[in-house]
Amino acid sequence: MALLAAQNVDSDLYGVTADSSQMLSFNNYTEEDTYNELNEISDQNLPKTEDERVSPTVSEQEPCQDGILDEESISSGLSNMGRTADGTEITFLHLTLPGYSLVDINILESYIYLQKLEVPYNKLTDLSVVSFMPFLVELDASHNEISKLLDFSPPQNLQEVDMSFNLIDEMGDLSAHHALTKLVLDKNYLSHISGIESCVALQHLSLAHNNIKKIENIENLSLKYLNL
């Protein structure tokens, strides 16, 4: 069920304080129908098997040996050559590595100028290497085996994160991620919304197909898009 950015939420009904000029539309549901559905999100929406977590449309890449990322694979995924954020060098700014069965990407510690990193459809459990990417703006780590959300020192300008289709059951404290504008956590194992109260820049929040039964802890946010 999607809650799309538009105008006005009844703050008394949902326990959310909102300006009367900003309402969230509920895709043609009545307020009563929407409220009932929010409190009766079915368990059938949760991913129950590994097969449900992997898209059949993603083409298989040649797996890296032992799942450890190597320079050859990196070179095939680099794109968008441009000037680094500090203006000192010309280098590749984007890296895309989908479906390599990766379990270890620590080699990326030296790729400090990346601004966009896409590593979906792998077997990653750890993203600590992102701590070495101070200029990173976009991160796609969807369809992996990650259990902790944003468990790394946050790049100062990290704005967009997709960690859908993982194993995350708790949002944790995201107050250090002050630049975050978009967060996608669809198809995880979350039961409540928390840890984002200080993410005042957040505008796009997607938590579809979890086990969240109540809208809470978002009253201080200026969301334009909310998908539950």
Query: Where in the chain does DSSP place strands (E)?
Result: 2-8, 23-25, 78-83, 90-96, 116-118, 138-140, 160-162, 182-184, 204-206, 225-227
pLDDT at 33 over 60: no
> What's the pLDDT at 1?
45
- Note whether 59 and 81 are within 8 A (CB): no
Give the Å distances, CA to CA, from 17 to 4, 215, 217: 17, 11, 10
Q: Is residue 102 part of a domain?
A: yes
- Tell me which residue range forms the domain holding 91: 63-227
Q: What is the mean pLDDT of residues 70-74?
A: 96
> What's the pLDDT at 58?
54
- Mean residue pLDDT of the chain comes to 81
Same-domain status, 134 and 24:
no
> What's the pLDDT at 140?
99
Supply the pTM of this predicted model.
0.76
Same-domain status, 129 and 214:
yes
What confidence tier does 47 reach under pLDDT thresholds 50, 70, 90? very low
Same-domain status, 109 and 12:
no
**Proportion of the chain above pLDDT 90, given as a percent:** 65
pLDDT at 65 over 60: yes
Q: 87-100 as b/e, with b when 16 or more CB fall inside 10 Å?
A: eeeeebbbbebbbb
What is the residue type of 153?
A: S
pLDDT at 181 over 50: yes
